Amino acid sequence: MNLSKIGVIGAGTMGNGIAQVSAAAGLEVVMVDVSQAALDRGLAAIGGSLDRLVKKQKLSADDQAVVRSRIRGSTQYRDLAAAGLVIEAATENPEVKRGIMRQADEIMRPEAILATNTSSISITALAAATTRAERVVGMHFFNPVPVMGLVELIRGLLTSEETHARAAQFIAQIGKTAISVRNFPGFAVNRILCPMINEAIFALQEGVAAAADIDEAIKLGCNHPIGPLALADLIGLDTLLSIMEVFQRDYGDPKYRPAPLLREMVAAGLLGRKSGQGFFRYT
Ligand SMILES: NC(=O)c1ccc[n+]([C@@H]2O[C@H](COP(=O)([O-])OP(=O)(O)OC[C@H]3O[C@@H](n4cnc5c(N)ncnc54)[C@H](O)[C@@H]3O)[C@@H](O)[C@H]2O)c1
């Protein structure tokens, strides 16, 4: 596999982060988006992130220019043809993603690997939209990509051992740690984290303790850097609710039922940081 060149589909929050860390590891990156405006925003975000690294003296000005020169933006899928690995990080919508997988599969070299950064869609189902299911793998990065060390590496039902090994090699090459996960909803991190946050909301609803005290309990009692309710506000209460609904539906287990208070807050438009108020107020 030619791992000197990779492709990234989607120039949003995750795509531009993945492009940046890959270029910083010495790879040539082509970042493809359907929207020129999104591409411009993504390239500007990379520029801003590299500027901050220079200011913090974590990157020299010369290296900054080299990293930036390795990233090319494009609105054309055909520019993915030379890549040994393409990572899809576009909008989280099953129809959109299936279309992207199909389009990328048609253009990519037969031996190249197609990875998807989906948070909630089955890797096996996305692989089925291609003719290379054995060379499709899930690569679930965390936000912000340049800062977070973990990548969940997910095998679809037909993902080959060789694909898994090559994907693990790439993750090591960009300086991240991979854990291997089977293709279950929420993979490992969200499967554990989201029900924990949901339980904190049940505890608040039942009057176990006040919101600030629940967060203080988990910060000081469990050494977490942030409390579960503040984390819910950061993730967005609407996003959290839709994740819990997927768990409840796909596992068919009532233990995943969203807390009624979570539903009510979403209905009221209290979505967390993005709306200015969730469990806490933001100015
Ligand atoms: N944001 C997070 O915290 C996070 C964390 C882990 C995984 N993810 C996953 O990463 C993916 C991207 O999330 P994001 O937050 O970066 O989204 P985003 O909305 O910031 O960016 C998505 C980008 O995809 C582009 N796009 C849409 N359709 C496209 C197409 N057909 N071809 C090419 N580009 C297309 C959009 O123009 C947009 O620029 C999703 O699957 C999401 O579930 C997100």
Query: Whole-prediction pTM value?
Result: 0.93
Question: 29: Cβ–Cβ under 8 A, 6 or more apart, which residues?
Answer: 5, 6, 7, 8, 19, 22, 23, 70, 71, 72
Residue 3: the pLDDT is 87
Q: What is the mean pLDDT of the chain?
A: 96
User: Which one of 9, 14, 139 would you pick to mutate in the ligand 1 pocket, going by the greatest count of ligand atoms within 8 A of its CB?
Assistant: 14
Q: What residue ranges in 93-243 does DSSP mark as E strands?
A: 113-116, 136-141, 150-155, 177-182
Residue nearest ligand 1's atom 20 by CA: 12
**Calpha distance 152→150 (Å, rounded):** 7
Q: What is the pLDDT of residues 96-105, one digit of tens each?
A: 999 999 999 9
Q: How confident is the model at residue 115 (pLDDT cuts 50, 70, 90)?
A: very high
> Is 224 a known active-site residue?
no
Question: What's the 101 CA to ligand 1 centre distance in angstroms?
Answer: 14
Q: What residue ranges in the chain does DSSP mark as E strands?
A: 5-9, 28-32, 71-74, 85-88, 113-116, 136-141, 150-155, 177-182
